[in-house]
Structure 1
Amino acid sequence: MQPNEPLFGERITQVIKSTDGFIWICGIDGASRFDGYNGINFLGHDSIEKNRIFGNRMLAMHESKDGRIWLGNNKGLNVFTPQENSFQYIKSNVFNTIRISFITSYNDSLLVTSSGNSSYLFNTNTNAFVETMLPHILKAKARDINENIWWGTKSGMLIKNDSTKFTVKGSINDLFFTSCGHLYVATNNGLFIIEKQELDNPRPTIKHYYIGREKTSISHKELSSIAFYQGQIWIGSRSGLNQVVINKNDLPVRITKHYHQTNNPYSISNNQVTKLLTDNEGILWIATFNGLNILDPSKQWFNAFQYQPKQAESLHDNNIICIDGDARKNVWISGFNSGLTKYSAQTKHFKHFHKGNSGLHNDHLRQISTINDDQVFFYNDKGISYFDAETNLFKQVKTILNKSDEAIKTITHQIFETKNNQIWLGTKKALYKAKFINDSFIIEHFCALSDVSDIQMTEDQTGRLWLATDKGIYLIFPKNPKRTRHFNTTSNSEFITSNFTDIAFDTNNNLWLCNVNGLHFLSNTDLLNLIPSNYQFKRYSIHDGLPSNHTVAILPDINGRMWVSTWNGIARFDPFGTNGHFTIFDSSDGLISQKYTRRSAFKDTDSNTFYFGGVNGVNYINPLDVNPKADNQTLSFYSINLEDDNVDNNAISVTKSDTLILEQKKAIDKWELIFHFNSLLSHNHQNFKWRYLHPDSTWHLSATPSIEFENLSNGEYNIEIMPILPNGESGKAKVVQLFVKTPNYRLILAIIGILVILISWLIIRFLKAKNKKPKYRYSNLSQDESSLIFKKLEQYMQHEKPYLNSKLTVDELTKYLDVSNVTFSQVLNKFKNTSFYEYVNHYRVIEFKQRLADGYNPNLTLLGLAEECGFSSKSSFYRAFKKETNLTPAQYEKAMNDKATKN
């Protein structure tokens, strides 16, 4: 959401949701009330008028119990009354003007209002400030799980029920209590966490999270806001959004950082995040200094199961080991040393089994397999159990060598049933044929294996078995063990490692192999027509679009695509074009884990649901549903990039209509048109194809949503762009009409050259004929008169501070001094030997340094503070500041802070 959608402006400082269902947004220049479809803007003004906001820098917003909206800004306090549908300025009875940057409820009738230097109570019944100043500058408020009120102050004090508890190093900007009772503290010096058991300790252990390379480091030390959303903690900062993945004890496991990405309309719109809000409809609102973003889970493609400590009906563990299913529409999920969850896809019911309640032989189960459709086996190096559906308990299984009644201890790594119902049992040293009789596997040795510790097995269309192991790939001929083939790094140079994690065939019977160093492919044609010794496996890696080379599991869908889980998310391979294309899914699509685990992928063919287990729960998806609704399939054009930075974007004009019409008016060697699907905070996952509309034109596949044009000659071009939808079908096409009308630059340059020579000659003649006159030749200003004018100017600049107006002109100063522009320039040159702009910027730099020393609103950047001091642009500010101090603003601030720390 940006100003044209509409908002009052792009710099957002606060977002709240009122009890009557509106989202209220405020920031620089005004406030907006948004109902989900339309917005109403209330702009700030420099004069006090009825039904208007007085002030133009909105810093704080709060709803009182009577439904009124209170707005704090650089001029004080304004209030919105729903019945009157307008704002009114509250004139203070205590002070003339105060900059209010924080508002919250103190009790039923009192508000807390804070500025940079003080905090006051405000009585909502009398609409008056309480004259006594509060002892602390309050900046944050939260309730703990026992309903105690905690306050955070500018000096870093944490106050519980009006009694100081302890202090952290930094100014506190937000507080948040987790469901386990831990306190998260966002400051301008990083994130502090005090665990529940430490809150009553007079000298608690406080954990500090700061900028660094650790997986729990934050993006910037200055943190602004905290919100709980989708089972995770989100923290806004001065440089990016921090997504804190927490464990079952509500403590950080890792912190993922989200930043604004140039030319990516699905990233956050600006890195300076000022406020986060989770509303009761499950949407996360992200306020930034360049618009408002929303993260809506209804737009995500993946669903998830996770362990919820307070919900009996949930997954029993988030660290998943393996997943499989049975014919009764149950999905079995094993966790790390925690037993099993049986999930009924029909009833959506979860049930937890473990060694203590069900007869399960062990709680750390490394593999699950189903035979005869409904007999499910669970096994590891401690033995095998199978589930008896009649008793709802587990029975332990013996392994008996054929022609012997003696049970043997064979560590089972894989149980697999072929299409003709032959059971195979893989162990560390050998592969066995097996039969399941009377709670026992009767096994017969088939062939030896090379000391493997993990096996995944599948069957090809000819009945041959393929084994993926950590020691390579085995090809098994069921009727002749002597024909067994072993593929590893020694026999196949395209394998970088022999550690394979999964194996599967797609709908076209091509073979896919997961490896810890990439994904490998063998076409069905080669598989049938070549002898095994001539098999050539094609390798895919991160250079081809995989999110990680460590691939762990793979599943085929009915459209010929392969879904791959990795140690860095999930990818889908689409066989379009010459080499196909990988689509990467991440947290913006609903993934709850970065790292997925081997053996933890299962395809429920009845419901066409895919399950992927990782270290943070289970994601599931129906690939046929990965097809955005029609209203989200609008192909729109995002921007035009020009290779030459010196060429203005106006060199290409854009006409908005159903057909995009472009007109190139200058000669540009290379430029790029960028387009996308509309979505929310999600990367662009669609592929596109495009072609020129002329006979014999060919389609060009675009893995990125852009088209590059180079050295186009004059003429008309019609380009058809068509999205490839997630289900593999083609979407609705749009046409770009491009008109190239570049002028004849050789002729123009020749004419310009002649004109330049002629004008130069005329100027030289004129200068020679003109008598040069000394500066201020006709000025008869006396010494005393010029001194009085300069003294009056200095007093006006120091006391009235007209330089705070970024649009200050010479005329305004000469009007106040009642002198001419020539006289003003003479006085300024005589006493300061400087220009008007250098003189004014000198005072602005002094003002900036003073406000920096006094402490300024942490929600402001250095550039924002400079704007308050009168600077109109970043370049003029940096140029003037460095000229005055020989330092950049950031270097100056750091030096000032270092000096304060030493003192």
Structure 2
Amino acid sequence: MALISPNEDRAVVRKFPKGFIHDRLIRIVYEDSRHQLYFLPDKGHLFRSDLSLMHFEEVKRTPIDDKNLQFIIEDNEGWLWIGTNNGLYRYDKGKKWMSFGVVDGLPTSIFLGCVPRKEENGILWFGSSQGVFCTTHEKMKKKQPTPYRVQVVEVCVDNNTFLPVSLTGKNEYVVNIPSFEKLTISFSGFSYIYPEFVAYEYQLDGNGWNKLEGKSELPFYDLSSGKHELKIRRANDADSVTSIVLYRHTVWKGWMSVFIVLVILFGIYGVIHWRMKSRKEGKAQSVEETPLKLAESSVEELHTREEESEQEENMQEDEDLSSDKYKYCRMSEEDCRLLSEQLDSLMNEKRLYMNPKLKIADLAEALHIPSYKLSYLFSQYLDHTFYDYVNDFRIIEFKRLIEKGEHKSYSLNALMEKCGFMSRSSFFRHFKKHTGMTPNEYINSLEK
């Protein structure tokens, strides 16, 4: 960006103060009725300055921070209208913002870089991805907020258990939560529009507002024990806030936990009994070493059981596909190659791997072949288990979403489920096996 000197009729590029926006790509420079200059950069925050260029600032912490700014125009009331790639906003030049979207009757939320126009009577004309439309300023400035706050619809644990929800005060819910692997909170803003156009914001324990678009539910996987406060509101609508107080209690889960407790109790009893017996026999040194050995033995036994359990889960398909079962299966190498190509094409076109409950019988039905032929293909030709084959597609889908930048809008757990994984541990294990790094390490490597 450069200044035009009226006396010398030439461009001057070195007379900008330090910290100004002149060294960035600017789409639009707009002067309002107060002779304030507003700069719309190609990337970054809205920027404003006086005509002397000595007093300027970036306008930060606003609803348009992460959006591409397309145009700006001032209405008859002195408010600024700013179009973005995802919504239309009205700004009083101070701290008040009003957002407009599909729910307000706009044909689209995607605006183009067309210069808007204002008629003498105050009507504004805008260009969008759905064409040109106008809005009557007198009606839009009287926009009334939706009279409903966000309401909790249901709270679900592990996709099948619904918890009772208590409404204790004005728009405050209380939920007591047992032990869980996945907690899902569903809600509604009563805006009566398609879910893909819905935009919410949520805050957990006061840690800043996070955006949620196209969904009306929040999944949680690693919520710690104790009290948590979740706040949900419609995007840029502070009057629609609803609070949800979550109490998570620590509960031992499963017979394995009970077994571990019993082992520890019997171990403690055995140690005490042994120490008393050893004291009588004068074997103090042996008594001191015994607890450590028992503890090491218990830890080793627990690790062994965990590894065996994990191995059984991953290798169950391989055991079912032992070579003895296929001695009567007549498939040539050419048959296997053609079937492998058909299977890859089916997975890429239909994206069946996104079904978290996909089974080998489902693939066989889609290919119109018996299941044992697919089993033979995996075991004897591909040398790959069914689950490893499907999870490889899921990992590739996850990497594709990361490269699109989806991780900036969705949590890691949400993306994992979107790719077809149900288990967080299984996802991390297969991702490390596929790429040699953890998901976070992979994301960081792309952002460098």
Q: Same fold (TM over 0.5)?
A: no
**When you count helix as a share of all residues, which structure comes out higher?**
2
User: Normalized against structure 1, the TM-score is what?
Assistant: 0.24
- Determine which structure has more spread, i.e. the larger CA radius of gyration: 1
**When you count strand as a share of all residues, which structure comes out higher?**
1
User: Normalized against structure 2, the TM-score is what?
Assistant: 0.43
